[in-house]
Chain A
Amino acid sequence: MIPPEFEYTAPESVDEALQALTQGGEDAKLLAGGHSLIPLMKMRLAAPSLLVDMRKLSDLRGIERANGGFRIGALTTHAQVSQASELGVAAHAAGKIADQQVRNRGTIGGSLAHGDSASDMPAVLLAAEGSVVARGPNGEREIAATEFFQDFFETALADDEMITEVRLPAMDGWKFAYEKFTRRAEDWAMVGVCAMVRGDFEDVRVAFTNMGGTPIRASAVEEALRGQGRGAIEQAAQAAAEGTDPPGDLNATADYKRHLARVLTRRALEKAAAA
């Protein structure tokens, strides 16, 4: 790796880290697992002047139950999330991120902060109606998933803010599935579908990975299914791609992605219903 020159610091506390981030100005960057940031640096697509390494912020690691939900420290790795089966769909989806090495390094906070619409956790956060807790020079705020993701690699997070925690409601009574369609096991999703069903379709949630600049809720599908039964899945899934405008890429044209969204929505809902 041959990145441009940068300064490096590894503060002991969140406050010190935030201070370093503010003082470092616009070109200062937090470093969590480094599995999105470092590839960008080595291709010289990112050139931060200062890296504020979060590795010593041990308070930000781990999962606890609180207020009828879960608080997941920002530095909790994908591997740790995937092993916490009480998290439901989040654990299931985290287990499908890349490969074991990436899951051992990559963090939930980094994944959300990066704002890559091909990443898996954003759609999960959106479907679960979770939120992130961000701290900056002006204190702490909670940002709902619906507000957080704004466009390709753009989030509601300010340059001097740090995600400290991710909040997920406990999803007791929900059944779920995350269908991720890739060429190779380790790839990013061409399309991913997070489906959640409460009880006997009393409530339904569907969210997409990589169908636009942000994760997207498939409201048309949800509405068509809410209060209906399993038999309505096939029909409802036809509406999956409505209103989406996915970017075409090397592996999938926009048409194909819309088609995949329909097929995977049906499959995810069938799996969730059968879970």
Chain B
Amino acid sequence: MSTVEAGPTGNGYVGQAIRRKEDPPLITGKGRYTDDIVLPGQLWAAIIRSPEAHARIVSIDKSAAEARDDVRIVLTGEDMTDLQAPLPMAWVPPGVEIKTPEHWPLARGKVCHVGDAVAVVVADDKYAAVDAAEDVIVEYDPLPAVVDVEEAMKDGSPLVHEQFGTNITHEWGLGSEDVEEALAAADVVVERRVVNHRTAGAAIEPRAVAADYRAGQLTLYTATQIPHLVRLQLAGCLGIAEEHFRVVAPDVGGGFGSKLNVYGEECLMAYLSRRLETPVRWTATRSEDMQAAVHGRDQVDYARMGMKRDGTIVALHAKLIADLGAYQQLLTPFIPSFGAFVMSGCYKIPSVRTDIVGVFTNKFPTDAIRGAGRPEATHLIEVMVDQAAAELGLDPVEVRRKNFIPKEDFPADVAPGVTYDSGDYHGSLDRLLGTLDYEGFRAEQARAREEGRYLGIGFSTYMEICGLAPSRAVGPSGVGIQAGFWESAVVRVHPSGGATVWTGTSPHGQGHDTGFAQIVADRIGSTPEQVEVIHGDTDRGPFGMGTYGSRSLAVGGESVARAALKVADKAKKIAAHLLEAAPDDIELRDGRYQVKGSPDKGLTLADISLAAYVPENIPDGMEPGLDETNFYDPENFVFPFGAHAAIVEVDAETGKVDLKRYVCVDDCGPAINPMLIDGQVHGGIVHGVAQAMYEQVVYDDTGQLVTGTFVDYALPTAAEMPTFETDRTETPSPVNSMGVKGVGEAGTIAASPTIVNAVTDALRPLGVNHIDMPVTPLRVWQAIEAAQGRGSGPRASEQGVPEGGAQ
């Protein structure tokens, strides 16, 4: 692991809670989202989607739609056989075969989930398109559908793709070979089935695409997190050279992973625009987005944790049954494997192994949703630690403390085969306990129980792996993802001294414009206002990998920092030349390049850039201009961590959970902008709490999507959340020059077990020792009823029994 020397810290913008530069246009309605972009001559597409979960397409009658004056074209899957390649799936793990059916933008021959795209209508305006779509008559021959992942694994289950003869897509494992022996040697083995249910990304901006093909050049505007990868992949599907193909991600209104993909609609709009030689666009309705954007999670996990009586964890085995849905999207089968890399959690566990089975069902594919595998793994570990503590009669905090990897052990090798960069797990927990008053809470809890009130506390001490990634570790010959994982940056100082920065990351709410401007301003001696950050356009900056996996700062930000240092280095040489000093004697201080010891002898960046672009007096042999590029491929991941706790009160009569307090300490290294961190932590916690208490994508037994709108898919609001008590510790990472780690997913990775552990803690006196998410009133009530010997307990995979359908 190498450490880059820390750069000059010119003006001290790094570390300040500067307000987001990107907000004024967004909050005054001046943002420019894909749907806002008007293209001359544009046509509108509407997609005909399957109402059946599984069926053969018997016939498609397009004639009535085609007969309408305002309709330009109606296409089905059979009309598009000139596509060069199906939609991509990018994971090819060495030595493991993954069953991957051909997946086309429009279904060919059969549909495999509700919402599967069957045909497309293009018309003069969006109303005409939707009207005409209702005129396309599709005849289906329904097939039996399979919705439950464990049913899908059984012999005799309906097959989502008959050609494979099974619904099992692949098996994959990571970690210790000796885990069975280690479990056998344990004093106690705690076994649990932990269900991690399906959720949606539910970005406020639904997916939207506008394609503009003219004179051999294709421009695709799309609400995506990965414009460069969309171009690379779709170039292959469409047979268009990358140099004639531009992808633009304009303002993007949230993604959470649901826009980290290459979607059929993106391919379809590009195809239609090329075929019709005029712009064609589509914006998902909210309910379309619920049924046709990737979902997340959806695992049934079997965990076995081997313990010594004193609370030492000696082994952990996790078997993850992953419900992948009906097709393989970009990284569908990989997501549970990402969790395997954090299966040791914050703990020193000699033997840890994860075994994964991927399974097809008749539902929309799952893929990366905020955290992508790590929330599932963390949920499992943190719930298991509490379960084990309870079974051994130990305090859950003490069990954590006892098993933490001590600070001195970093960099720490763990059983799953990765090396944690840095950490101080005791430090964050101690700080959390300081705010929490744990003993005070236990006393209050005891008093409340005497009054018949049920309070509970739940902890989650988490670590995660992010900053994707060392290309050698994750790429084709490593984990097997068919890509590199570096990031790129250009820092261009203009003759007048202002700077433009291009980053290959592609933010959609995170605040890169502000954070990256702070980083660059300090390094080149400018101000954040004078540093403009550009992203999301394949024609404007260098190739980049995009924004996901909490990578933007630790990889993209580091690349920006390195490009800025190159600029500063050249600026110093020019300054030295102009000031007649040695380059080593020039320092960047208070925004000026000055001679050490003689602060009166100094130049501003504008002075230097003018000299660089009017190169009458620069060092001999130096190229003119002040413009530097960096490509940065990290040598390791980064490993953020922290300690979270939730305090709940459960109404034991109705089952309703009231989240009373949420306290957390996160460590993502030194803060670039603490306000941006708080924003990410808040949103992340809401996301995790939401899964634990509110959100669930529910398909009924026949494969109908029951939670198709925000009435039924219960996104919580501010009214449901307490004020978060956030705090930080700062343990630098040795991996990059700024010591930074990611924070975009940390809250989500940490949060769900705090809630489940707290609810379990509250309910133990009533005999409920284990409960799965989401802890809805119905589910909690059913669990209490069952524990009290009344009723049969919650249904395994649903928050309720959708008898009468949705409201």
Contact = CB atoms under 8 A, between A and B. Distances in A.
Interface of A: 2-5, 42-44, 99, 118, 181, 183-188, 190, 247-256, 259-260, 263
B717 A186 contact: yes
Interface string B275-292: 000000000010100000
Given A186-B717, A186-B719, A5 B131 contact: yes
A188 B807 contact: yes
A101 B797 CA distance: 34
A254 B801 CA distance: 9
Nearest to A262: B653
Contact of B714 (A44, A183, A247): A183
B131 A185 contact: no
Contact of A184 (B719, B781, B805, B807): B719
Contact of A253 (B127, B720, B778, B807): B778
Contacts of B654: 181, 260, 263
A252 B287 contact: no
A250 B130 contact: no
B199 to A, nearest CB: 15
A258 to B, nearest CB: 12
A247 B800 CA distance: 12
A248 B807 contact: no
Contacts of A252: 777-778, 800
Nearest to B44: A2
17 contacts: A2-B127, A4-B131, A5-B127, A43-B287, A99-B717, A181-B654, A184-B714, A186-B719, A187-B711, A190-B777, A248-B800, A248-B804, A249-B802, A249-B805, A250-B712, A253-B803, A256-B800
Contacts of A251: 776-778, 799-800
A84 B799 CA distance: 38
A263 B653 contact: yes
B566 to A, nearest CB: 50
B781 A249 contact: no
Given A250-B707, A253-B803, 14 more contacts: A2-B127, A4-B127, A42-B285, A43-B287, A99-B719, A187-B711, A188-B807, A190-B777, A248-B803, A248-B804, A251-B778, A252-B778, A253-B778, A254-B803
Contacts, number: 86
B790 to A, nearest CB: 10
Contact of A247 (B287, B653, B804): B804
Interface in B764-802: 776-778, 781-782, 791, 799-802
B716 to A, nearest CB: 6
A252 B656 CA distance: 12
Interface in B669-704: 694, 698
B806 interface: yes
Nearest to B653: A263
Contacts of A256: 777-778, 781-782, 800
A249 B799 contact: no
B126 interface: yes
A213 to B, nearest CB: 11
Nearest to B693: A183
Contacts of B138: none
B803 A249 contact: yes
B638 to A, nearest CB: 36
A250 B777 contact: no
Given A2-B285, A43-B287, A251-B799, A183 B804 contact: no
Interface string B649-666: 000011010000000000
Contacts of A254: 803
Contacts of B134: 44
B706 interface: yes
A255 B803 CA distance: 12
A13 B131 CA distance: 33
Interface string B352-364: 0000000000000
Interface string B700-734: 00000011010110101101100000000000000
A250 B802 contact: yes
Which of B126, B287, B803 is most buried by chain A, counting CB atoms within 10 A of its CB? B803
Interface of B: 126-127, 130-131, 134, 285, 287, 653-654, 656, 694, 698, 706-707, 709, 711-712, 714, 716-717, 719-720, 776-778, 781-782, 791, 799-807
A11 B769 CA distance: 63
Contacts of B653: 263
Contacts of B285: 2, 42
Contacts of A247: 803-804
Nearest to A256: B778
A184 B694 contact: yes
A5 B804 CA distance: 30
A252 B804 CA distance: 10
Contacts of B126: 2
Nearest to B720: A184
A251 B694 CA distance: 10
Given A248-B801, A251-B799, A185 B287 contact: no
A184 B803 contact: no
Which of B714, B717, B781, B807 is most buried by chain A, counting CB atoms within 10 A of its CB? B807
A185 B694 CA distance: 12
Given A2-B127, A2-B130, A2-B285, A250 B799 contact: yes
Nearest to B287: A43
A185 B711 CA distance: 12
A185 B719 contact: yes
Contacts of B656: 181
A253 B793 CA distance: 12
Given A5-B127, A263-B654, A183 B781 contact: no
B208 to A, nearest CB: 14
Contacts of A260: 654
A137 to B, nearest CB: 32
A249 B134 CA distance: 29
B364 to A, nearest CB: 18
Contacts of B127: 2-5
B287 A249 contact: no
Contact of B776 (A42, A183, A186, A188): A183
Contacts of B782: 256
Contacts of A183: 694, 714, 776-777
Contact of B698 (A2, A187, A250, A255): A250
Which of A185, A248, A251 is most buried by chain B, counting CB atoms within 10 A of its CB? A251
A188 B698 CA distance: 19
Contacts of A3: 127
Contacts of B694: 183-184
Nearest to B782: A256
A4 B285 CA distance: 15
A184 B717 contact: yes
A272 to B, nearest CB: 18
A96 B751 CA distance: 29
B781 A250 contact: no
A183 to B, nearest CB: 6
3 closest cross-chain pairs (CB), A and B: A247-B804, A248-B803, A185-B719
A263 B655 CA distance: 11
A253 B800 contact: yes
A253 B801 contact: yes
Contacts of A187: 711, 714
Given A183-B694, A183-B776, A249 B719 contact: no
A253 B127 CA distance: 39
Which of A5, A99, A187, A250 is most buried by chain B, counting CB atoms within 10 A of its CB? A250
